[in-house]
């Protein structure tokens, strides 16, 4: 009997210790986090980031978070910390990548809505259980480079069977509806950046000193399991036959090339490449595609006068913009494709177009 009471008291103590420990972890502001992450750069980086006015909890959760696993993990960390059992660098766990998405949404509703109605909100089941794709191409670890980069494991931990016959299933059914290209594929938070108020002053800054891209832009590199800032990402050399295609200098599109890449032959339009050649050569993906929905509707008018070179409204001309089945792909069409006998003389006076 006495043993039972002791056991009960011990059990109660353990149960109470979890909230106590997780409370130690979760209470207090950034200073409290810094007590343990002191050597870790996260806190100091956050202090000079665009998000320095958003508390840690806004993205990482706090005592009010309802998921019990969250508190258990935190209690375990207090234990790990006391034991000195800490990895060299803390890293956001894959499950937290999905949890954080909802928190980004709280503050960035417009961007979230645009992303979630665009092609990049595609889910695990759509990428990895696609019958047509799986029966023609072998599932392999490299698939995860461009979709599912945060997944903790290899392709064999994700899908079974790994053959061309199927039927295929996800080994972790809970991933089924999760996005393979979440915000953190393209954005990293703990990096230097200016606040909105400082950005308002930017209008008064000389053009060539203004920011070229938002500070958080980075591609989550699966091999490193870390984000690589856009400034360090290469813009590939793309070729049309032997000729090197003129590439837009926009550094942001380096991000697109991580996935929409040509094959190793570097030929334009091979693989998933869409580098513009012909009429739009040298123009950035982001001059036409909206950053989150990838829509193009609004873009034509930013460069084209109502009546262009041809004396026509470009939006109604025979390209894939007006009709998906058009043989004139907007990325590759040339003057000569529509004017095989040479460019006709101008009848109307048309305004000049600017190139970006």
Q: Which residues contact 291 (CB under 8 A, 6 or more apart)?
A: 114
- Residue 47's nearest CA partner among 190, 188, 200, 184 is 190
Contact predicate 220/150, CB 8 Å: yes
The nearest distance, CB 159 to ligand HEC, in angstroms, is 8
- Residue 285's nearest CA partner among 251, 240, 313, 241 is 251
Q: Which of residues 198-237 bind ligand HEC (CB under 6 A)?
A: 199, 213-217, 227
Q: Name the segment binding ligand HEC (CB under 6 A); options: 4-12, 63-71, 262-270, 292-300.
A: 292-300
Q: Which of residues 150-179 bind ligand HEC (CB under 6 A)?
A: none
Q: How many CB atoms lie within 10 A of CB 11?
A: 10
Write each residue from 1 to 40 as x if it is in contact with ligand HEC (CB under 6 A), else as -, in one continuous string: ------------------------xx---x-xx-xxx--x
- Residue 337's nearest CA partner among 320, 353, 350, 354 is 320
Q: Name the segment binding ligand HEC (CB under 6 A); options: 63-71, 79-87, 168-176, 201-209.
A: 79-87
Q: Which two tokens stand for residue 351?
A: 């305004």
Residues, the chain, total? 356
Write each residue from 232 to 271 as x if it is in contact with ligand HEC (CB under 6 A), else as -, in one continuous string: --------------------xx-xx-xxxx----------
Q: Which is nearer to ligand HEC, 10 or 198 (CB)?
A: 198
Q: Which is nearer to ligand HEC, 6 or 127 (CB)?
A: 127
Q: Which is nearer to ligand HEC, 10 or 353 (CB)?
A: 353
Using CB under 6 A as the binding rule, whether residue 78 contacts ligand HEC is answered as yes
| CA dist., res. 199 & res. 186, Å (int) | 21
Main-chain phi, psi angles of 112, to 5 degrees: -65, -45
Q: How far is CA 335 from the centre of its chain?
A: 35
The nearest distance, CB 7 to ligand HEC, in angstroms, is 28
In Å, the largest CA–CA distance within the chain is 105
- Residue 148's nearest CA partner among 189, 91, 98 is 98
Q: Which is nearer to ligand HEC, 6 or 133 (CB)?
A: 133
The footprint of ligand HEC on this chain (CB under 6 A) covers a number of residues equal to 129
The nearest distance, CB 177 to ligand HEC, in angstroms, is 14
The nearest distance, CB 5 to ligand HEC, in angstroms, is 32
Q: Which of residues 45-64 bind ligand HEC (CB under 6 A)?
A: 46, 50-51, 54, 56, 58-60
| CA dist., res. 191 & res. 205, Å (int) | 22
Using CB under 6 A as the binding rule, whether residue 330 contacts ligand HEC is answered as yes
């Amino acid at each position: 009997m006495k043993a039972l009471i002791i056991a009960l008291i011990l059990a109660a103590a353990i149960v109470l210790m979890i909230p106590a420990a997780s409370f130690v972890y979760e209470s207090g502001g950034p200073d409290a986090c810094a007590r343990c992450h002191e050597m870790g750069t996260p806190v100091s980086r956050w202090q000079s980031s665009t998000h320095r006015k958003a508390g840690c909890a806004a993205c990482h959760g706090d005592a009010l978070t309802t998921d019990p696993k969250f508190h258990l993990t935190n209690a375990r960390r207090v234990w790990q910390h006391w034991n000195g059992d800490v990895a060299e660098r803390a890293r956001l766990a894959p499950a937290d990548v999905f949890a954080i998405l909802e928190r980004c949404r709280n503050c960035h509703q417009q961007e979230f809505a645009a992303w979630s109605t665009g092609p990049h909100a595609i889910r695990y089941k759509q990428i990895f259980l696609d019958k047509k794709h799986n029966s023609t191409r072998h599932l392999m670890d490299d698939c995860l480079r461009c979709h599912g980069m945060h997944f903790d494991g290899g392709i064999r931990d994700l899908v079974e069977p790994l053959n061309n016959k199927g039927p295929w299933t996800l080994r972790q059914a809970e991933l089924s509806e999760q996005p393979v290209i979440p915000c953190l594929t393209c954005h990293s938070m703990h990096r230097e950046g200016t606040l909105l108020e400082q950005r308002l002053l930017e209008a008064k800054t000389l053009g060539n000193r203004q920011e070229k891209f938002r500070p958080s832009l980075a591609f989550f590199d699966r091999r490193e399991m870390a984000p690589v800032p856009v400034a360090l990402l290469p813009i590939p050399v793309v070729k049309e036959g032997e000729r090197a295609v003129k590439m837009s200098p926009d550094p942001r599109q380096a991000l697109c090339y991580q996935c929409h890449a040509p094959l190793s032959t570097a030929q334009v339009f091979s693989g998933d490449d869409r580098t513009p050649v012909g009429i739009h050569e040298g123009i950035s993906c982001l001059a036409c595609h909206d950053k989150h929905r990838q829509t193009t509707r609004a873009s034509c008018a930013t460069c084209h006068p109502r009546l262009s070179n041809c004396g026509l409204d470009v939006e109604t001309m025979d390209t894939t913009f007006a009709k998906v089945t058009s043989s004139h792909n907007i990325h590759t069409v040339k003057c000569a494709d529509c004017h095989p006998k040479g460019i006709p003389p101008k009848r109307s006076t048309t305004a000049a177009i600017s190139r970006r």
